[in-house]
């Protein structure tokens, strides 16, 4: 067999391995109920902050605790072992990647969707009325 064929087979095997590693890391979007059914399995839950419940950051333990509800209105206590993200209270949606336990959802990563600064109420005035 030619060296070029061997090198091509090795390159294809490495590419297949990279794709498989990427796919195995991809988590599934679910609600809290589904995450509770498979405790310990990593899922991604998109929810919103429950503003009626308390938020706390325990600096000694390094735990940020808050309550969130998913698209099906299931509310869960969420533990995040990092400081509270900036503008957390202003977020529209919270994407939480983590796993469920008997007492809470443990978030390893949090991404926030904050309100857009380009919404209707922040549009510029018509050029003809500018400065009036």
Predicted model pTM: 0.68
Q: Which residues have C-beta within 8 Å of that of residue 113, sequence separation ≥ 6?
A: 91, 92, 93, 94, 95
Q: Are 96 and 51 in contact (CB under 8 A)?
A: no
Taking only the tens place, the pLDDT of each residue in 16-70 is 887 777 665 555 789 999 999 999 999 999 999 999 999 999 989 999 999 999 9
Tell me, what's the pLDDT at 20? 74
Which of 73-82, 107-116, 120-129 is least confident? Answer: 120-129
Tell me, what's the pLDDT at 56? 94
| CATH number for the domain running over 28-113 | 2.40.50.140
Q: Are 33 and 74 in contact (CB under 8 A)?
A: yes
Query: Could you tell me the pLDDT band of residue 4, with boundaries at 50, 70 and 90?
Result: confident
Tell me, what's the pLDDT at 130? 47
Query: What burial letters (b/e) apply to 30-66, b meaning 16+ CB within 10 Å?
Result: bbbebbbeeeeebbbbbbebbeeeeeeeeeeeeebbb
Tell me, what's the pLDDT at 118? 58
């Amino acid at each position: 067999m030619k060296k070029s064929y061997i090198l091509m087979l090795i390159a294809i095997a490495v590419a297949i391995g990279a794709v498989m590693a990427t796919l195995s890391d991809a988590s599934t979007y679910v609600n809290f109920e589904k995450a509770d059914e498979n405790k310990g399995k990593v899922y991604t839950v998109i929810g919103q902050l429950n503003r009626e419940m308390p938020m706390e950051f325990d600096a000694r333990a390094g735990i940020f605790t808050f309550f969130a509800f998913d698209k099906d209105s299931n509310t869960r206590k969420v533990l995040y072992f990092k400081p509270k993200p900036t503008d957390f209270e202003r977020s529209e949606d919270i994407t939480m990647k983590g796993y469920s336990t008997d007492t809470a959802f443990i978030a390893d990563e949090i991404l926030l969707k904050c309100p857009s600064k380009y919404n209707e109420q922040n549009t510029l005035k018509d050029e003809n009325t500018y400065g009036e």
